[in-house]
Amino acid sequence: MPLQSSHLAAEPRAAADDPPGFDHWFKVVLVDSPALLEEAFRLRYQVYCVENAFEDPAENPDGLETDEFDSHSVHSLLLHRPSGMVSGAVRLILPDPERPEDSLPIERVCPVELIQTAGPFDLAHCAEISRFAVSKRYRRRLGEERFADTTWGDAAADSEVSRRQLPFITLGLLRACLLMSIEQRITHLFAVMEPALIRLIRRFGLSFEPIGPLVDYHGHRQPCFAAIKDLLEASQAHNEQFWNVGTDNGRLRLD
């Protein structure tokens, strides 16, 4: 899914004795145009309708996967700088002021009484991470097949994609979530995640608190919750790699 070169900044140069970092290989792009939004929907269609039978292709014509939550969501893409390809996409579902009791998907799979135990929080400043999608060429071949590999060498990477680049995929999408949260003044995040994704982000020192047991929602999923402030403090203390990449070396932070 190549984008025009106008979407890509000049590639940063690494020091001669340092390996290229995140900003050399990837760029987070906040979706702010119909063309970029179509790229996100197209990747979601490939991941959620073609590669995994989570959504019905017949209900998503033209190869674009959308749903009712997109009307009150913000979206981001992760671009691979050398190729101009879209490597990942993620959205943040925001509370809908017209129906606050049914704004987020988690409210449909988790009893409200359980959700309330995650508080205290102001629903107006809560959002849900959703449609965490990674292009097939960047995902690991064995084990946690739907997500980007987070190790430095145990995946059989595409010959065009260096194994050194793979850990940055998940980190980049998490940076996108943080950036969108800051722009939308979100302080708390919900998610209904696959256990495999929870394991991956724990490697970055990030822990979402479970809300109740696993639910059956496109397979076994764990409803969970986290305060952004707690995620940032934990990553700074336990995983310098995520802190540097996820927060753009500390430049992304809550007020």
22-53 pLDDT, tens digit per residue, is 888 899 999 999 999 999 999 999 999 999 88
- Per-residue pLDDT of 109-135, as tens digits, reads 988 888 888 878 888 899 999 999 998
Ramachandran region, residue 129 (left: φ > 0; alpha: ψ -120 to 50; beta: rest):
beta
Q: Please state the rounded mean pLDDT for residues 209-230.
A: 91
Tokens of 232: 């940032």
Tokens of 225: 């919750």
Does residue 157 register a pLDDT over 50? no
Which residues have a Cβ under 8 Å from the Cβ of 251 and sit 6 or more positions away?
none
Give the model's confidence band at 137: pLDDT under 50 very low, under 70 low, under 90 confident, else very high: confident
Q: What is the pLDDT of residue 78?
A: 96
Q: Please provide the average confidence, as pLDDT, over all residues in the chain.
A: 80
Q: What is the pLDDT of residue 237?
A: 81
Select, from the ranges 40-44, 58-62, 102-106, the one with the highest average predicted confidence (pLDDT).
Answer: 40-44
Q: What is the pLDDT of residue 95?
A: 92
Q: What is the pLDDT of residue 18?
A: 45
All structural domains of the chain, each given as residue ranges with its CATH number in brackets, are 5-246 (3.40.630.30)
Q: What is the pLDDT of residue 164?
A: 65
Strand partners, 92: 74, 129
- Per-residue pLDDT of 69-91, as tens digits, reads 999 999 999 999 988 999 999 99
Q: Please state the rounded mean pLDDT for residues 15-19.
A: 43
Cα(139)–Cα(35) distance, integer angstroms = 25
Name which of 44-58, 92-106, 160-174, 203-217 the model is least confident about.
160-174
Residue 31 near residue 176, CB atoms below 8 Å: no
Cα(88)–Cα(131) distance, integer angstroms = 10
Tell me how far apart the 2 most distant CA atoms of the chain are, in Å: 55
* Amino acid making up residue 190: F
Residue 167 near residue 78, CB atoms below 8 Å: no
* Amino acid making up residue 53: A
Q: What is the pLDDT of residue 55?
A: 92
Report CA-CA distances (Å) from 228 to 30, 123, 147, 207.
19, 14, 22, 11
Q: What is the pLDDT of residue 239?
A: 74
Q: What is the pLDDT of residue 33?
A: 97
